[in-house]
């Protein structure tokens, strides 16, 4: 990923733009936020990956999202859906549900968002999950079957699933630190890192599933490393960024536990 330095086009919420750009840079990617409807399609055509995060949408940004998704499909750019707070709010729930038929390469969300997006229950509490990750496994498999893409559920452990083309894969990723929930936008930034890894993996001819697992491992391992040196959210955020930048692939592999739970 660092070698490819993928260009990641982010249409994301106003709360997390800064941390998302910082995280992409630290992880080895190149961020660009391009929301305007008259520019978003052109940019998605040349980007390595696109992130669509519905965390705090404006009317104009939604038009940009439609344009970016259409262009990403036309140009084969992998795009990632982050259905922030889907379930409780009708506008974003309708948008995200409609986009399931537009070929997201990956969906990245917390457990409540995956349950709600799959129509298997209500959402969480605001932007936070109130469901266990394991409860979201069946809804994630159903979303992966419907979209043909990867679905990743985050929490104390993450699960990454593929369920298309005759192959069903489920990979548990254990890493991270509870302080990741006390810094705003860690999950949102992970969505952008997922788009970055997908872009890099497509260039290298590597599987999308492995790209999504690698994104979660990189972000999680950096969280584990930051948790060793930080007592609270402020220093943790800084240490997490530094670890995203400094961790080697070997250190990431040594920090993270992967478990293949494919049926």
Extract the runs of DSSP E, i.e. beta strands, from 37-166.
49-53, 79-82, 106-110, 150-154, 158-164
24 binds ligand ATP (CB under 6 A): no
Task: Give me the least distance between CB of 109 and ligand ATP, in Å please.
Answer: 6
188 binds ligand TZE (CB under 6 A): yes
Annotated binding site for ATP: 108, 154
Q: Which residue number places its CB atom closest to ligand TZE?
A: 55
Question: Between the CA of residue 68 and those of 13, 185, 228, 261, what are the distances in Å?
Answer: 15, 22, 39, 34
Task: Give me the least distance between CB of 184 and ligand ATP, in Å please.
Answer: 6
12 binds ligand ATP (CB under 6 A): no
26 binds ligand TZE (CB under 6 A): no
Q: Which residues contact 92 (CB under 8 A, 6 or more apart)?
A: 54, 57, 83, 84, 85, 86
Q: Which one of residues 20, 171, 181, 194 is an interface residue with ligand ATP (CB under 6 A)?
A: 181
Annotated binding site: 33, 108, 154, 185
Nearest alpha-carbon partner for 38 in 64, 57, 58: 64
The smaller minimum CB distance to ligand ATP, of residues 176 and 199, is found at 176
Long-range Cβ pairs for the range 157-161 (8 Å, 24+): 157/133, 158/133, 158/216, 158/220, 159/133, 159/134, 159/261, 160/209, 160/212, 160/213, 160/216, 161/137
64 binds ligand ATP (CB under 6 A): no
Task: Give me the least distance between CB of 58 and ligand TZE, in Å please.
Answer: 12
Q: Which one of residues 96, 152, 169, 180 is an interface residue with ligand ATP (CB under 6 A)?
A: 180
The residue ranges that bind ligand ATP (CB under 6 A) are: 84, 109-110, 127-129, 154-156, 158, 176-178, 180-181, 185-188, 190, 219-220, 223
């Amino acid at each position: 990923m660092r070698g490819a330095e993928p260009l990641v086009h982010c249409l994301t919420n106003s709360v997390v733009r800064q941390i998302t750009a910082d995280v992409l840079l630290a992880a080895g990617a190149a961020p660009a936020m391009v929301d305007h409807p008259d520019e978003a399609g052109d940019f998605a055509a040349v980007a390595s990956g696109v992130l669509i995060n519905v965390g705090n949408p404006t009317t104009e940004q939604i038009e940009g999202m439609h344009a970016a998704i259409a262009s990403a499909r036309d140009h084969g750019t992998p795009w990632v859906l982050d259905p922030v707070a889907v379930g409780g709010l009708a506008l974003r729930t309708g948008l995200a549900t409609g986009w399931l038929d537009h070929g997201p390469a990956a969906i990245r969300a917390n457990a409540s968002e995956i349950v709600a997006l799959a129509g298997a229950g209500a959402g969480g509490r605001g932007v936070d999950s109130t469901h266990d990750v394991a409860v979201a496994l069946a809804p994630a498999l159903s979303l992966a079957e419907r979209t043909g893409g990867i679905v990743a559920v985050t929490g104390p452990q993450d699960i990454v699933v593929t369920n298309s083309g005759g192959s069903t894969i489920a990979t548990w990723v254990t890493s991270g630190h509870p302080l990741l929930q006390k810094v705003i936008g860690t999950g949102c930034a992970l969505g952008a890192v997922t788009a970055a890894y997908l872009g890099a993996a497509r260039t290298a001819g590597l599987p999308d599933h492995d790209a999504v697992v690698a994104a979660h491992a990189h972000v999680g391992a950096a969280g584990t490393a930051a948790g060793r040196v930080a007592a609270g959210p402020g220093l943790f955020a800084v240490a997490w960024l530094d670890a995203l930048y400094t961790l080697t692939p070997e250190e990431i592999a040594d920090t993270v536990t992967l478990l293949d739970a494919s049926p």
